[in-house]
Amino acid sequence: MELMRLVLPILILPAIFAANADLVRVKSVYMLPMSNGMDQYLANHLLAADLYVVVTDPKAADAVFTDSLGPAFERKMTELYPPEKPAEKEKDKDEDADKGAIKESGAPANPVSTFRRGRGMVFLVDRTTRKVVWSVYEPPKNASSDSLDRAARKITGRLKKELEAKAPAK
């Protein structure tokens, strides 16, 4: 039992630090529009804290900040980062295989999302893996600029703390 108390923290510690290693790799971010202009306040505080480079070209970003997830977000990500097109040979094979096949889609025309905008959630999503690498719940008290600025400052502060905890020692 004593051995287990000594070994368990040693086994868990690397998992804790590796759990969000993707967060440390992010250097540049793209801001998707958020409710009440929160993206503008958040970009301002991210730059002021020197946490990330905020880019206006989504292709130059390592990750994307958003306040909603779900089908609409997935469509936007596909629009910003279209999947690579298959090689011509593979494309020809697919066309040959599809000749005469009836294609059916089981997805509804307008999928309903359980995620709503403007509820205080902010997500940082890796652009290539589409994994959420960080999220926080920090709702502004109201839609006033002071309230939005205060919430953005708190979000940035929490992110900074987490990045500092994950950063490798110099």
According to the model, what pLDDT value does residue 155 have?
Answer: 97
Q: Does domain 18-82+114-165 have CATH number 3.40.50?
A: yes
Strands (E), 107-147: 121-126, 132-137
Predicted structure pTM score: 0.71
In this structure, are residues 155 and 170 in contact, taking their beta carbons and an 8 Å threshold?
no
Of the two residues 86 and 110, the one the predictor is more confident about is 86
Residue 137: phi and psi, rounded to 5, are: -115, 110
In 3D, which of 163, 169, 161 has the Cα closest to residue 21? 163
Of the two residues 102 and 160, the one the predictor is more confident about is 160
- pLDDT beyond 60 at 159: yes
According to the model, what pLDDT value does residue 90 have?
Answer: 56
- What confidence tens digit (pLDDT) does each residue in 9-55 have? 444 444 444 447 889 999 999 999 999 999 999 999 999 999 999 99
Look up residue 138 and give its two tokens: 């920090």
- pLDDT beyond 90 at 113: no
Per-residue confidence band for 169, with pLDDT thresholds at 50, 70 and 90 = low
- pLDDT beyond 70 at 82: yes
Distance between CA atoms of residues 123 and 126, nearest Å = 10
According to the model, what pLDDT value does residue 21 have?
Answer: 84
According to the model, what pLDDT value does residue 11 have?
Answer: 43
Distance between CA atoms of residues 91 and 119, nearest Å = 43
Domain boundaries, the chain: 18-82+114-165
